[in-house]
């Protein structure tokens, strides 16, 4: 089903799908296209939707975990645990349709982000030297990864890396905060008094997966980069920490890996958000935690191998 959907989307891409800043300026008159660190404009292309067609969320509401009735035990959520605030869960049933949540946790402005096409879930501190930013979805992709934009300068940002790639903020790097994707059951067992983001007020079929069958596809959507090395399947999941990547398959087999001063652990019980038509019914892909030797949470991402290769071409593959 997903292969048919991708074909239809590709055929319907607007004329501006070709990389052309002169065309983009019509929709982005305040973006400074004279400043960029992207080597070739053709790397950026339309994802088939316009600016804010995928609406980012601002100032989300939360409810106690005990009052959340719709979430199923294996459903994936992005967990954010910060000192000075109750742990928060951001369900992928919502992020799948919105991709960015601008929130404030323990007084820190954060952006919780999720790109289904790269399976990348990263949380950023929204503060920069130029001020606090708020983010939206541009509708553009680079190597199949979401291009975000900040509403203040209209600069474009790469979601997987947290780096600005076009506009006045080009080269600025957002700070990544430790967060991880786990099952709703795992979150509630550890945080019975935690909070979960309430259902947004948009007319969306929350809980449905519009990317059905994507993570078993042979090739990613609108990706024209090279395949990953070492015979890695492009859509294989890897655990990225900095510029290192551990194959999820290896971690699942070993259960725990102690390398590079880190402790990576895997636990069964999380449904894939990109498998079946309903998120809660996806096959079990398990959950990953990454800590340092002192047990502190470390920022990481579980993403597809092609995306790691695209954005960290000189990265280290931790194969064994």
CA separation (Å) from 162 to 111, 115, 156, 232, 311?
A: 10, 12, 10, 25, 11
Extract the tokens encoding 246: 């551990």
Q: Please name the residue ranges forming H helices in the chain.
A: 2-12, 21-27, 92-98, 184-190, 248-254, 305-311
Q: What tens digit of pLDDT does each residue of 154-189 get?
A: 999 999 999 999 999 999 999 999 999 999 999 999
Q: How far apart are CA 6 and CA 276, in angstroms?
A: 16
Handedness of CA 237, 239, 245, 246 (dihedral sign): negative
Intervals of the chain under pLDDT 50:
1-8, 10-12, 14-16
Angle at 38 (CA atoms; ends 119, 139), nearest 5 degrees: 50
The pair of structure tokens assigned to 101 is: 């949540």
Model pTM?
Answer: 0.94
| Interacting residues of 313 by C-beta distance below 8 A, sequence separation 6+ | none
pLDDT score, position 18:
62
* pLDDT of 195: 99
Percent of the chain that is helix, strand, coil (3-state, to 5): 20, 35, 45
Query: For residue 311, what are the CA distances in angstroms to 163, 204, 225, 306?
Result: 11, 31, 10, 9
Determine phi and psi for 252, rounding to 5 degrees.
Answer: -65, -35
């Amino acid at each position: 089903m997903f292969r048919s959907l991708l074909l239809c989307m590709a055929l319907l891409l607007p004329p501006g799908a070709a990389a052309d800043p002169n065309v983009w300026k019509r929709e982005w008159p305040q973006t400074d296209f004279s400043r960029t660190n992207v080597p070739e404009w053709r790397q950026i292309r339309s994802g088939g939707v316009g600016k804010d067609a995928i609406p980012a969320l601002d100032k989300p509401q939360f409810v106690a975990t005990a009052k959340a009735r719709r979430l199923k035990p294996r459903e994936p959520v992005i967990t954010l645990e910060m000192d000075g605030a109750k742990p928060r869960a951001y369900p992928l049933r919502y992020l799948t349709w919105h991709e960015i949540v601008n929130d404030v946790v323990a007084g820190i402005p954060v952006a919780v982000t999720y790109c289904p096409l790269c399976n990348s879930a990263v949380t950023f501190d929204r503060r920069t030297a130029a001020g606090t930013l708020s983010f939206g979805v541009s509708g553009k992709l680079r190597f199949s990864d979401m291009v975000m934009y900040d509403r203040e300068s209209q600069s474009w940002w790469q979601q997987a890396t947290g780096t600005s790639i076009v506009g006045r903020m080009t080269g600025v790097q957002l700070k990544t905060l430790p967060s991880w994707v786990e099952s709703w059951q795992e979150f509630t067992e550890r945080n019975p008094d935690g909070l979960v983001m309430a259902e947004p007020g948009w007319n969306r079929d929350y809980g449905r997966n519009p990317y059905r069958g994507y993570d078993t596809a042979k090739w990613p959507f609108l990706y024209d980069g090279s395949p990953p090395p070492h015979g890695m399947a492009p859509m294989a999941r890897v655990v990225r920490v900095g510029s290192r990547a551990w194959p999820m398959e290896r971690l699942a087999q070993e259960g725990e890996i102690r390398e590079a001063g880190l402790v990576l652990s895997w636990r069964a019980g999380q449904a894939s958000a990109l498998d079946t038509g309903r998120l809660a019914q996806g096959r079990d892909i398990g959950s990953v935690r990454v800590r340092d030797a002192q047990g502190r949470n470390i920022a990481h991402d579980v993403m597809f191998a092609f995306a790691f290769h695209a954005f960290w071409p000189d990265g280290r593959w931790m194969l064994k």
